[in-house]
Amino acid sequence: MFKSVREFLAGKYPCLKTFREAVQADRAKIMEGRGDEFERFLEQFPNEGRIIERLAVHKVFFNSERMLRNHHRADWAGVDPKIRVFSGKLFEEARKRGMPLFVHTGCAVDIVHTKFAWQMSRDEWRYIGALGKRVAKRMDLEITWGGDWGWDFAHWELPDWKTRPVIPDNLAPERFTPVGLLRFQ
């Protein structure tokens, strides 16, 4: 989550009346020194403040029992290292905005909001999708987002997943936090 949003949540900006003002302040700071690519990314979301306002949680939640339990449920055994790193980076991009995500794994991953799960608006899913595409572009990773099909918004897969070896059923479970996933890069 950006500094001014964190400070707003902590009550350090009594002059700011809304969360949206804190997000706009962050947006102005972010734009300093950024290129046109980031500007185009943000322009896709004229209601970005409203999306983040609904999906953001207090920073304490990221270390909560519930959040850790959600990460512990994901079994990363046999999951492609590229998907592991992509997931970890997407978690971190969302965390910077105060949005907790967790994952269901397999040949692909379903990445959902920890609090709202799949119960998000199309615009909220598009925002998560755009974050994921931005992460994939930075990684130079070709990845398919299910939201482009118009119906499976949580789904991310490598385009060649059908040609990859089948994951054996007898692998020992592997559990990682988002930061732990990043060590595979």
pLDDT, one tens digit for every residue, the chain (185 residues): 445 555 655 655 555 445 555 555 555 554 454 445 555 655 666 677 777 777 888 777 777 788 777 777 777 777 888 888 888 888 888 888 888 887 777 667 888 888 888 888 888 899 999 999 999 999 999 999 999 998 889 999 988 877 877 666 677 777 776 767 766 66
Whole-structure pTM value: 0.66
**Residue 86 burial by Cβ neighbours in a 10 Å radius (0-12, 13-18, 19+):** buried
> For 63-184, CATH number?
3.30.1380
Strands 101-105 and 144-145, sheet pairing:
unpaired
Strands 101-105 and 109-113, sheet pairing:
antiparallel
Please answer whether residues 2 and 27 qualify as being in contact, where contact means their C-beta atoms are separated by less than 8 angstroms: no
pLDDT, position 36: 55
* Token pair 């079994």 in the structure block, residue: 75
Residue 170 neighbours by CB under 8 Å, 6+ apart:
none
Query: Residue ranges of the domains in the chain?
Result: 3-59, 63-184
